[in-house]
Amino acid sequence: MSDSDSQPLEDAIIGLFLAPEGSEEVEFTEPKQTVADAGATVDVLGSETGDAQTVNDDLEWSESYEVEKSFDEVSADDYDALIVPGGTVGADTLRTDEDGVELLRQHVEDGKPAGVICHGPWTLVEADVVDGKTLTSYHSLQTDIRNAGGEWVDEEVVTDDGLVTSRNPGDLEAFCETIVDEFASAQS
């Protein structure tokens, strides 16, 4: 394959968080497919291995997906980038998982990129990595982000020091395009 045919994330290993239940399906599947199409290897990470059930619009149960590795079996050193989807219940569950929060905290503190959408920034707040950063999220999280020292803005996608955030599923096209760009830039 020539350099012009190479995929921007062909050497990247990306960890994608998935709650035991309640992650927003499209915020899980679309970023996963996008980074895989860009050449990345994707590990689905969660509190424990096995099936995890997603939701549509927070209220309707949807498909189940396999969690391949648990947070306690991996480290920030294992991943070039992380992705945290939203879904109110899923994001609330993820922010209470000490191993998942620690993985995200260490990853961000190591200066590695992360893509976080919708209610996913709750996990960033819990990891104590938003102080001094500009983020967006689902609008109901703006007070949480501000209380944690971040600046909340109402924009489709925001990038600040490796963190890529978006508000909701309506922003997925911009979010997915931006995470590929940001993740690829971090590998250069």
The catalytic site residues sit at: 118-119
**C-beta separation of 109 from 101 below 8 A:** no
Q: How many CB atoms lie within 10 A of CB 88?
A: 18
* Cα four-point dihedral sign 115, 94, 79, 37: negative
Q: Left (φ > 0), alpha (ψ -120 to 50) or beta: where does 64 sit?
A: beta
Those residues with Cβ within 8 angstroms of residue 50's Cβ, 6 or more apart along the chain or in another chain = 66, 67
The residue among 29, 12, 7 whose CA lies nearest residue 117 is 29
